Amino acid sequence: MIPDFLSAIVDTLLPGDDDPPQLPTGTAAGVAARLAAHLVARRDSARLEAVLAAIASAARGEDAFVWAGAAERVATLRGVEAEMRGPFRALVALVLEDYYEAETVLLAMGWRTEPPQPQGYALSPPVDEALLEPVRRRGRMWR
């Protein structure tokens, strides 16, 4: 499977956005490279490979899909989705998971990239302490 083919699929699913927050394309976020790694490492890669082979077949070859226009790529993916709904959804779920965990995407959406603990998240607006008073008066409910 040629890397450009995976990039074309990923960028058709995740084309990016020029408007704020200026989301990167899937390939720019590293999703195509991670998809290639998944194909090598995952136990269910046969299912993913079947979807990719169906996309290549519907487009009349990997190179044909790479060189196709955006509308033709979308039509090809829609056809494969209709034909192989479950496996296609698994591919999309994998691609979306990788995309929304990518640092560049998190930063573009204004989210922080470090884990929430031990610092936690800043609350905006601050918590109204008066709302917590009934809970404090109740005391412990466990032993």
Q: What is the mean pLDDT of the chain?
A: 89
- In which band, very low, low, confident or very high, does the pLDDT at 44 lie, cut at 50, 70 and 90? low
Mean pLDDT of 29-42: 88
Distances (CA, A) of 97 to 14, 65, 75, 89, 118: 12, 23, 23, 12, 24
User: Over 70: is that where the pLDDT of 100 sits?
Assistant: yes
Of 24 and 2, which is predicted with more confidence?
24
Indicate whether 38 pLDDT > 90. no
Domain boundaries, the chain: 3-114
Residue 83 tokens, joined: 């034909």
Q: Say what the pTM is.
A: 0.77
Burial of 79 (0-12, 13-18, 19+ CB in 10 A): middle
User: What is the rounded distance in angstroms from the CA atom of residue 21 to the CA atom of residue 63?
Assistant: 32
- For residue range 51-95, list pLDDT tens digits in order: 999 999 999 999 999 999 999 999 999 999 999 999 999 999 999
CB 31 within 8 A of CB 10: yes
Which pLDDT band holds residue 105 (cuts at 50, 70, 90)?
very high
Write the DSSP string, 81-132.
HHHSHHHHHHHHHHHHHHHHHSHHHHHHTT---S-STTT----SSPP-HHHH
Q: Give counts: helices (H), strands (E), the chain.
A: 8, 0
For residue 41, pLDDT beyond 70: yes
